[in-house]
Every structure is written in C-alpha cells, then in structure tokens.
Amino acid sequence: MDFMSVPMFNAKQALIRKNYSEIYAHEAAHKRAAGSLAGPIVIEKNSEGIPVGGHVSIKMPSLNRVNPQETIDNADVVIKSALAPSDPSAQDYKVAAQAKSIKAQAENIKKRLDYYA
C-alpha cells in the first residue's frame, strides 16, 4: 500500500463500518420483533466488500381455517416485525401489507366460526 492510498483505505473502512452498522441495526430490529418467526440476519456486500443491503427471512403465516386466531397472532408478529425499524423499506411495507391481507382473511373466518359456535 503506498502513501496516497492510505486515506482512501481509511475512508473505505469507515464506509464499511457505517453501512454495516446501519444495515445491521435495521435488520436486528426485524429479528427482535419477529422472535421465533425470524431467520438469521444476512448482510449483502458489493464486489468491493461494502455492505449495501440486508434481510431477515420471516415466516409468513399461512391461513389456518381451523384455528384462525393462530393466523391472526402470527400475522400481527409479522406486521410488527416488518415495521420495526425506524426506517422501513418499500419491501418492509410490502411484507406488512401481505400479512395484513392474510390477517383480514383470518378475521373473516373467525367471525364466521364464532357466529356458528
């Protein structure tokens, strides 16, 4: 490494630390809120090794027609997790909307089951 590349190296290292910290904090908020429905935190890097994004897989609830309350409870966790970061992304809003749709279906089923109980 020559003398002129030291400032560039330091700037790159600072950018790596900054991006990693911001991305990790965002993904950690998802993971904390999702609890057992969350997978591991994955940080994605570009070809230069600079963190550029991340994700946490979250188990989207399936519609349980026998026990719709379970679906409602799991959907609430997914919604809370998707919107947990202080800066939700477009994908986060999309996941929350999908969980809200599943929750609405489960609530309709629950109303019918309660009506006939």
Give the list of residues 6+ apart from residue 36 with CB closer than 8 angstroms, or none. none
Q: What is the pLDDT of residues 16-68, one digit of tens each?
A: 999 999 999 999 999 999 999 999 999 999 999 999 999 999 999 999 999 99
| Structure confidence at residue 1 (pLDDT) | 52
Backbone dihedral angles phi then psi of residue 48, each to the nearest 5 degrees: -95, 5
Q: Supply the pLDDT for residue 2.
A: 57
The predicted pLDDT at position 15 comes to 87
Q: pLDDT tens digit string along 84-107?
A: 999 999 999 999 999 999 999 999
| 3 band by pLDDT with thresholds 50, 70 and 90 | low
